Amino acid sequence: MMRARKPTCGRVPAFLRRLCFLLVASLGASTPVWAQVVQTPNFHDQAQRAPEPDLSARTRIRFLTSVDYPPFNFLDGRGQLAGFHVDLARAICEELNVTAICQIEARPFADLAGALESGEGDAVIAGLAITADNRARFAFTQPFFRYPARLAVPKGSDLGGPLALGLPDVEVGVVANGAHAAMLQSFFPKARAVPFESAEKAQEALRAGRVKALFGDGVALSFWLGSEAAAGCCEFLGGPYLSDRFLGEGLAIAVRADDPQLAAAFDYAIGRIVREGGLSELLLRYFPISAF
C-alpha cells in the first residue's frame, strides 16, 4: 500500500523526530503551471464555509494510524502514541465536540487500508497516498500538509543572483533517478545536475564543496541541516517548490467511500482549527526548525 510521497526521508532517527519546518512559499514567474504557490503553512482551503456537521447519531469514531512515520505518528519515550497526526485527530474530535466517542488506534501501516474497508476503523490518519486507486476505494479530506522540494547551499553562498536566472551551469547535486531529479530538470533546466546514489552522499558532497547546491526533499534536508552531520555548514535558498506532478497531493485523512459525511465533518473541523491558529501551533510543536 502506498504512503503519501515523502521521497528521501525514510525512517528518521529519534533525535531528529521533531526537526522539520513551517511551510511557506514563493515561486518565480518561470514556475510551470502545474506547480502551486503556497503563501501560508495552512494548506486547507479557507474559501469554503460549510455548515456545522451533525454527528449526534454516531456512537464511536475510530481513527487508525501507524507508529513508523515520525514526526507524524510514532511511539514516544513512554511508549505512548504521539505525533502530529495524533494531535490533529484529537483536535478534530474536540472541535466537533465528539471527544468522548473518539478513539485512536495504531496498526501496521500495511494493514490500515484493509482495516478501514472492513469497518475496523472509521478513518485513517497516517499518510495514505492520495492516488487514483485510493480515491476509488476511499473518500479523502482536503490535504492539510504538503511536501516541498528545497535547494540547500553552503552558508554565505553567492547563488542568489544565479537562482533568479535559473541556476545556469551551476552544479546541483540530486539523488539519481528519482522525483527530485526529474523536478530539478523541469524547474531548473539550465542547471548542471550532478547525480548521487543516495541523499547522504549528496549531502556530504554539498558539505565538502563538491557541488554548489543540493536539490531534494525539504523535510529530509531540514532534518539534515539541524543535525550533527551537517555541522552548521548549509542553509536553504529560494523556494520551497511544490508540485502535485512530482511530489503528490500531500497528506489527508481517508474514510470509507460510503461515508463522505465524515470526511466533510473533518474538513469543517480542520477549517476551524486553521482559522483559530491551531494547525500552526501543531506545526510549531512538531516542526520547530523554520526553513525560512
6-51 pLDDT per residue, tens: 533 333 333 333 333 333 232 233 333 333 333 334 555 555 566 7
Cα separation of the two ends of the chain:
33
Q: Which helix (H) or strand (E) holds 225?
A: helix 218-225
In this prediction, residue 75 carries a pLDDT of 94
**Rounded CA separation 60/207 (Å):** 51
195-209 pLDDT, tens per residue? 999 999 999 999 999
Residue 73: inside a domain = yes
98 & 218 share domain: no
155 & 178 share domain: yes
135 & 278 share domain: yes
85 & 164 share domain: no
In this prediction, residue 288 has a pLDDT band, given cuts at 50, 70 and 90, of low
74-113 pLDDT, tens per residue? 999 999 999 999 999 999 999 999 999 999 999 999 999 9
237 & 161 share domain: yes
Could you tell me the residue range of the domain that residue 102 belongs to? Answer: 58-146+249-286
Contact of 40 with 251, CB cutoff 8 Å: no
203 & 153 share domain: yes
181 & 129 share domain: no
Residue 93: inside a domain = yes
In this prediction, residue 101 carries a pLDDT of 97
In this prediction, residue 107 carries a pLDDT of 96
Is the pLDDT at 66 greater than 50? The verdict is yes
Residue 1: inside a domain = no
Name the nearest CA neighbour of 116 among 272, 258, 278: 258
φ, ψ of residue 133 in degrees (nearest 5): -65, -45
207 & 260 share domain: no
What is this structure's pTM? 0.76
Contact of 75 with 136, CB cutoff 8 Å: no
Residue 173: inside a domain = yes
Residue 24: inside a domain = no
Residue 209: inside a domain = yes
* Residue that has been written with the C-alpha cell 506532478 in this structure: 245
39 contacts: CB under 8 Å, gap ≥ 6: 24, 25, 26
| 224 beta partners | none
236 & 155 share domain: yes
Contact of 130 with 212, CB cutoff 8 Å: no
SS3 at position 123: strand
Give helix 84-95 / helix 278-286 axis angle, nearest 10°. Answer: 160
What's the number of domains the chain is made of? 2
φ, ψ of residue 165 in degrees (nearest 5): -100, 0
Give helix 218-225 / helix 199-208 axis angle, nearest 10°. Answer: 50
Interior angle at CA 132, CA 129 and CA 136, nearest 5: 100
Q: Assign residue 234 the CATH number of its domain.
A: 3.40.190.10
127-172 pLDDT, tens per residue? 999 999 999 999 999 999 888 899 999 999 999 999 999 999 999 9
Residue 44: inside a domain = no
186 & 206 share domain: yes
90 & 156 share domain: no
Contact of 127 with 95, CB cutoff 8 Å: no
Is the pLDDT at 273 greater than 80? The verdict is yes
SS3 at position 102: strand
Residue 41: inside a domain = no
